[in-house]
Amino acid sequence: MKNNYDIIVVGGGHAGCEASHVAAKMGAKVLLITMDMNKIAQMSCNPAMGGVAKGQIIREIDALGGMSGIISDKSTIQFRMLNKSKGPAMWSPRAQNDRMRFAEAWRLALEENPNVDFWQEMVTEILVKNERVYGVKTGLGVEFYAKSVVLTNGTFLNGLIHIGEKNFGGGRAGERSSKGMTEQLVQLGFESGRMKTGTPPRVDGRSIDYSVMEEQEGDEVPGRFSYLGDFNNYKSQRSCHITYTNEEVHESLKKGFDRSPMFNGRIQGLGPRYCPSIEDKINRFAERNRHQIFVEPEGWDTIEVYVNGFSTSLPFEIQYEALKKIKGFENAVMFRPGYAIEYDFFPPTQLNMTLETKLIENLFFAGQINGTTGYEEAACQGLVAGINAWRKINREPEFILSRSEAYIGVLIDDLINKGTDEPYRMFTSRAEYRILLRQDNADIRLTRKGYEIGLASKKRMKLVEEKQRNLSDIMKLLKEESIAPEVVNETLQSLNSSPLTQKVKLAQIVKRPQVQLLDLEKGSSQLKEKLSNYEVEVKEQAEILLKYETYIEKEQKIAVKLNKLENLKINESLNYSEIKAMSNEAREKLEKVKPKTIGQASRISGVSPADISILMVYLESRNN
Amino acid sequence: MRQIASSVSTEDTIIALATPAGTSAIAVLRVSGKKSIGVTNQLFPKKDLNKVKSHTAHYGTIQHNKQIIDEVVITIFKGPASYTGENSVEISCHGSMFIVKSIIETYQDLGVRYAKPGEFTKRAFMNGKLDLAQAEAVADLIASDNASTHKTAVNQIRGGFSNEIKGLREELINFASLVELELDFGEEDVEFADREDLKKLVTKIKDTISSLLKSFTLGNVIKNGIATVIAGKPNAGKSTLLNTLLKEEKAIVSDIPGTTRDFIEDELNIEGISFRFIDTAGLRETKDKIEAIGVQRTYEKMKKASLIIYMTDISSISIDDFNKDISLLKELAIPFVVLANKIDLLPEQKIPANFVNIFPDTIGIVASNHDYADILKQKLLETIQLDNMQQDGTIVTNVRHYESLKNTLSSLVDVEKAIEDGISGDFLAIDIRQSLYHLGEITGEVTTDDLLANIFSKFCIGK
């Protein structure tokens, strides 16, 4: 059996799968080691991909040549474009997925690649010599060697599951936790921390009364994540349902508060503020007499449902009693209770922008081990780590995305410079250039980059080039061709938009907020004919570029301005302890991160604007 | 590597004269840096300055090579409780340039370096004693030569202005958070701020900025003096009036060179406020007939003024000309005072009723008579209405701050309009972030190289 590889990926979750996929696709010999091959690409939390900011990340992964978009499309049971009523920067694709098919699709995709080997066992140790990793050792004592190792251990490192007063080791419900790794890494000099997350009970869908709940259907014309084409061929979609807790539910839950590991201090790790458990919601927002519950089907055929919004670690019998007081859940039968899980993570400020650790060469971290939460956040880190691990082996330049290029760039820059105390999740507000980082243009932003490093296929590149060509054709058409009042006035009046008195350029009409290009097409068969060769997506993008032109330009200007700071380089050998005027905290943080530019320095947490001014004055006086 | 480039100022000890050069009763030298107390101690045999407390003054002699240079008072400041944040010493010596020079040379012999322009303030800034707005205020304070400028600059150094901006920033950040909440958590079960509330909040922030912007005119007036044009025909008694005013005040008649603005003839200080009288040559040339060009030139001068004193010879001007001139003044919308000179030539020394009807506030004077000077001064102060405005709070005096505030306001106007048009929050957010960025430019939250260079080039040595 082979025991020598280019890259070993430890962990088969979203980060591990994406890291294995990209490295193998670019040509690396990859060994994926997982504790259970039947659990590859498990959706450990809710069966859905995307959402606000996260949907944009999947589009970016896809544009670069990652698999997450395609896998999701293959297993989508419902698709919605969220925030359609807001501006295009907020449009966020989200899919509900068939949990089992999602995992199956990933496993088959990896199996399809001859460069990927698998090994099922627990890794207990990484092999390090001269501050450089050269392989891993498993529980059985087997050693595998590689030029690079990517750790994607998720919630498994010393995972501890809490349900009421009971707690036991585990990485997920029913799965063992991973032991030994944290201790070794700490011994090597890494700093570790503890985080907490939680998940709600799973329920038998046959026992739920959907008729009393609000139904949420998928989009009439379902979209998709992948720019590469349609991997789904929807014949139908499944609905989600919305119901609410009530005061009776809250009273029942409160009875268990004294036995809650959250409130009695047994849980040490910090949980996410934006994804609180139900007991946390009741406790913190006592004035609210109800909270939303989102009932998600787990797949096409399965009867299992996910009770989103009811994450809890209260004792099982309390969970059950309260659950049955929710409207529609009166006769609910539970499959398994909700739980909280604590796990080890390594503050990501110990990494370079490539996700390689600063301490051990060729060792990369991706996913929850870095203190993030979410499938999308994990997957994109896996992608970046996989790419860079392979490029480093080949002595190729680092692959780094900037904050103005991609949400992925924002995520990694935040992690490396700011670190995180609570599980890090992406929000659109974390991006300075939200209007530029849209879900509709991820391919235009990134596919060329993916193509140039040998990840995105030629087919993808061709599709983007075609899209850009079509886009400029449509833009030209809209900017040059005029439309007459008699053709368009009826449409305009029906949309409460003032009628024309003379011919104007089409672009002028498209710019009106109330008017959609689609409306104009409906009103004019001539226009419809002219635009018939173009795909909906391309037309939509042309419309976005026209309608929001001034805002897009504004943001581009800001990007240029702020990028000036990104171009102010700092010599890595700078001795920060010489700059006495700075706060101690800032000196320590800067010493640790060793930022490459003033822009990067300004984003490090604990470094104040005053510190940055001082740093700039210092650098300037040194230059003189 | 302990050795670093000598230009790294924080390692050096520096000295400079802190009072103006020239002969005076006393002069003050300032020394700052690690070695300041130690070196001074070597020159001050009377007591061990290393052992004295901070903020204490010590009388004695400065001696070098057993030779007494001067009798001095040494004041010791220990860092960080000093202006620069470092150990500092102030030496009050006799104000002879020979003594000053000798002391500086002695310090230089002992390894103290002469300070570069703005270096003391730069150190204060580097040591976190001042933020950018405060550092700039130091430059203003040094340049201040009247009570109002002084007051504004002092207020700014104490952080009044910075605090106001910080308050604004916080409000804007709150506003931005409300918008962001709606964007990132639109799908979740949260209650969002009502659009009307958002609009009220923007309006409130806008109002604060507008009043700060308005204060700029006032700030400028305080800093640069009130540009005052005396308009009127040559025989109206303009020069006589000016002489009367100036003589009375014994004001310093000064030329301020190097300005590209109008020539400033004379400056007069009334109760701490400077009035700059601007040459209106245009009026002199239109001696006999009123040439269109001459009128135009005068008109241009008047448009740029902050205050116009319109002076007429009441004994000779026709009612029609007076009427025309008053209409012109009203059109300009600049505060003005109307003086009817040579009132002593009129019967009963009273302004004719038809003139009063046109402009009731016309003041009758005799330009050569000092008795009218006080009335006029009060009138000028009243017209400019500084008294009530000066009292309340923050005044913007710096062009850079003015620009930043203006940009902030214009972004906020966009925000307001976008709310009215019902445009989505992601676009509002762009303009809100822009306005935050502009506010940040004031306190240095966003720093750029040129910004700092510009600021530090404004400082003079030793201040």
DSSP designation for A55: H
What pLDDT does residue B250 have?
Answer: 34
Kindly report the CATH class assigned to B224-390. Answer: alpha beta
Centre a 10 Å sphere on the Cβ of residue A304 and count the other Cβ atoms it contains: 17
Closest of A84, A75, A105 to residue A237, by C-alpha: A75
d(CA A293, CA A51): 17
Range name among A60-64, A308-312, A427-431 with the lowest pLDDT average: A427-431
B24 — contact with chain A (CB < 8 Å)? no
Top mean pLDDT of A239-248, A513-522, B416-425 is at A239-248
Structure tokens at B358: 């046109």
Q: What is the pLDDT of residue A229?
A: 86
Cα angle value B373/B374/B379 (rounded, 5°): 100
Residues 6 or more apart in contact with residue A130 via CB below 8 angstroms = none
CA distance A373 to A316: 25
- CATH class belonging to A458-550: mainly alpha
Query: How confident is the prediction for chain B on average, in pLDDT?
Result: 73
The fold of B143-217+397-456 is: Four Helix Bundle (Hemerythrin (Met), subunit A) (1.20.120)
| Contact criterion met (CB below 8 Å) for A60 and A440 | no
| C-alpha distance from A241 to closest chain B C-alpha (Å) | 14
Return the pLDDT at A283.
84
**pLDDT above 70 as % of chain B:** 68
Q: Tell me which chain B residues have a C-beta less than 8 angstroms from the C-beta of A243.
A: none
Is pLDDT at B39 greater than 60 in this prediction? Answer: yes
CATH code for the structural domain at B9-129: 3.30.1360.120
Whether pLDDT at A561 is above 60: yes
Extents of the domains making up chain A: 202-340, 458-550, 568-623
* Tokens coding A593: 């991160």
- pLDDT over 70 (residue B149): no
Instruction: Give the CATH class of A202-340.
Output: mainly beta
How many angstroms separate the CA of residue A600 from the nearest CA in chain B? 13
B:184-213 residues touching chain A, CB 8 A cutoff: 184-189
Distance between CA atoms of residues A391 and A150, nearest Å: 13
pLDDT grade for A606, boundaries at 50, 70 and 90:
confident
Q: Name which of B447, B455, B456 to mutate to probe chain A: the one with the most chain A Cβ atoms within 10 A of its Cβ.
A: B447
The per-residue pLDDT for A363 is 98
Of A93-102, A567-576, B75-84, B115-124, minimum mean pLDDT range: B115-124
Q: Is the pLDDT of residue B3 over 60?
A: no
What confidence category does residue A288 fall into, taking pLDDT thresholds of 50, 70 and 90? confident
Task: For chain B, give every residue range classified as CATH 1.20.120.430.
Answer: 143-217+397-456
- CA distances B268 to A582, B239, B246, B271, Å, are 46, 14, 7, 10
pLDDT for res B145: 52
Interchain pair A554, B434: CB under 8 A: yes
Cβ atoms of residues A511 and A546 within 8 Å:
yes
Q: How would you classify residue B237: left for phi > 0, otherwise alpha for psi between -120 and 50, otherwise beta?
A: left
- Structural contact between residues A346 and A365, judged by C-beta atoms closer than 8 angstroms: yes
Q: How much is the average pLDDT of B145-151?
A: 55
CB A252 within 8 A of CB A316: no
Residue B11 is classified by DSSP as: G
Q: What is the DSSP string of A142-175?
A: -EEEEEEEEE--TT-BT-EEEETTEEEE-SBTTB
Q: Which residues of A touch B169 (CB under 8 A)?
A: none
**Higher-pLDDT residue of B200, B443:** B200
- Which of A86, A575, A622 is closest, CB to CB, to B5? A622
Select the more confidently predicted residue: B143 or A285. A285
Are A552 and A511 within 8 A, CB to CB?
Answer: no
From B441, which residue of chain A is nearest by alpha-carbon distance? A609
Residues of B in contact with A612 (CB under 8 A): 447
What pLDDT is recorded for position B314?
Answer: 86
Q: Are strands B363-364 and B336-341 parallel, antiparallel or unpaired?
A: parallel
What b/e sequence results for B310-348 when a residue is b if at least 16 CB atoms lie within 10 Å of its CB, and e otherwise? bbbbbeebeeeebbebbebbeeeebbbbbbbbbbeeeee
HSE, side-chain direction, 13 A CA sphere, residue B92: 9
CA distance B32 to B14: 5
Predicted confidence at residue B234, as pLDDT, reads 65
Lowest mean pLDDT among A63-77, A132-146, B422-436: B422-436
In total, the C-beta contacts within 8 angstroms joining chain A to chain B are: 116
Q: Which of A596, A271, A566 is nearest to A420 (CA)?
A: A271
HSE (side-chain half, CA atoms, 13 Å) at A483:
29
User: Would the CB atoms of A568 and B445 count as touching at under 8 Å?
Assistant: no
pLDDT at A219: 94
From chain B, pick out residues whose CB is under 8 angstroms from the CB of A434: 426, 429-430
| pLDDT confidence band for B217 (50 / 70 / 90) | low
Using one digit for the tens of pLDDT, what is the confidence trace for B238-296? 777 777 777 644 333 333 332 222 344 577 777 767 787 765 544 434 444 444 445 56
Angle at B39 between CA B71 and CA B102, to 5 degrees: 45
Q: Is A223 helix (H, G, I), strand (E, B) or coil?
A: coil
Q: In whole angstroms, give the CA distance from residue B380 to residue B363.
A: 12
Beta strands in B196-263 (DSSP E): 226-231
Give the Cα separation of B369 and B113 in Å (integer).
57
The pLDDT of A224-243, averaged and rounded, is 90
> Rounded to an integer, what distance in angstroms lies between the CA atom of residue B32 and that of residue B43?
16
Predicted pLDDT at A563? 74
- The boundaries of every CATH 3.40.50.300 domain in chain B are 224-390
What local confidence, expressed as pLDDT, does residue B375 receive?
Answer: 82
The pLDDT, as a whole number, for residue B248 is: 45
Please report the pLDDT score of residue B221 as a whole number: 63
CB A345 within 8 A of CB A370: yes
pLDDT at position B109: 86
CA–CA gap between residue A277 and residue A201 (Å, rounded)? 12
Per-residue confidence (pLDDT) for residue A232, from 0 to 100: 82
For the CA atoms of B268, B269, B274, B279, the dihedral, rounded to the nearest 10 degrees, stands at 0
Residues from chain B contacting residue A89 (CB–CB below 8 Å): 426
What does the angle CA A483 – CA A486 – CA A492 come to, to the nearest 5 degrees? 75
Among A99-103, A180-184, A197-201, B443-447, the range with the most confident prediction by mean pLDDT is A99-103
Let me know if A609 is exposed, middle or buried by CB neighbors in 10 A (0-12, 13-18, 19+): middle
Over range A276-297, report the average pLDDT: 88
pLDDT in tens, B179-200: 777 777 776 666 666 778 888 8
Report the Cα–Cα distance between both ends of chain A, in Å, rounded.
62
Using a cut of 0.80, tell me whether the model's pTM lies above it. Answer: no
pLDDT at residue A57 is higher than 80: yes
Q: Which of B184, B188, B189 sits opposite A428 (nearest CB)?
A: B184
CATH for A568-623 (1.10.150.570, 3.30.70.60, 1.10.3720.10, 2.40.33.20): 1.10.150.570
Beta carbons of B184 and A568 less than 8 Å apart: no
Q: Give me the pLDDT at residue B453, please.
A: 41
Please check the confidence at residue B409 and state whether its pLDDT lies above 80: yes
Question: How many Cβ atoms sit within 10 Å of the Cβ of residue A356?
Answer: 22
* Residues of chain A contacting residue B427, judged by C-beta atoms under 8 Å apart: 87, 435, 548, 551
- B5 vs chain A: nearest CA distance in angstroms? 7
Residue A332: pLDDT over 70: yes
How many residues does the structure list for chain B? 463
Residue B114 has what pLDDT? 84
The complex's ipTM works out to 0.75
Contacts of A610 in chain B (CB under 8 A): 128, 131, 444
Average pLDDT over residues A58-75: 98
Q: What pLDDT sits at residue B247? A: 62
- B 143-182 residues inside an 8 A Cβ radius of A: 180
CA B244 vs CA A6, B371, B461: distances in Å: 95, 10, 39
